[in-house]
Amino acid sequence: MEYRLINVLKQYDDGAVTALNRINLYIEKGSFVSIIGPSGSGKSTLLNMLGALDTPDSGQVIVNGVDLASQKDLSDFRRHEIGFVFQLHNLIPNLTVQENVEIPLMDAKLSQKEKHKRALLFIEAVGLLDKKKQKPNKLSGGERQRVAIARALVNLPSIILADEPTGALDTRTGAKVLDVLRFVHESINATLIIVTHDRDVARLADRTIEIRDGQIINDYYNR
Sites of contact with ligand ADP (CB under 6 A): 12-13, 17, 19, 37, 39-45, 53, 75, 78-79, 84, 86
Shortest distance in whole angstroms from residue 86 CB to ligand ADP: 5
- CB closer to ligand ADP out of 32 and 84: 84
- CB closer to ligand ADP out of 2 and 213: 213
Shortest distance in whole angstroms from residue 6 CB to ligand ADP: 19
Shortest distance in whole angstroms from residue 130 CB to ligand ADP: 26
Instruction: Give residues with Cβ within 8 angstroms of 33, minimum separation 6.
Output: 27, 191, 192, 193, 194, 205, 206, 207, 208, 209
- CB closer to ligand ADP out of 45 and 129: 45
Give the CA count within 13 Å in the CB-facing half-sphere of 169: 23
SS3 170: coil
Task: Write the single-letter amino acid at 124.
Answer: E
Instruction: Give residues with Cβ within 8 angstroms of 52, minimum separation 6.
Output: 61, 68, 71, 74, 77, 78, 82
Shortest distance in whole angstroms from residue 13 CB to ligand ADP: 6
Sign of the four-CA dihedral 47, 51, 57, 58: positive
Give, for 148, the enclosing helix (H) or strand (E): helix 141-153
- CB closer to ligand ADP out of 34 and 44: 44
3 state SS for 76-91: HHHHHHEEEECCCCCC
- CB closer to ligand ADP out of 32 and 86: 86
Shortest distance in whole angstroms from residue 78 CB to ligand ADP: 4
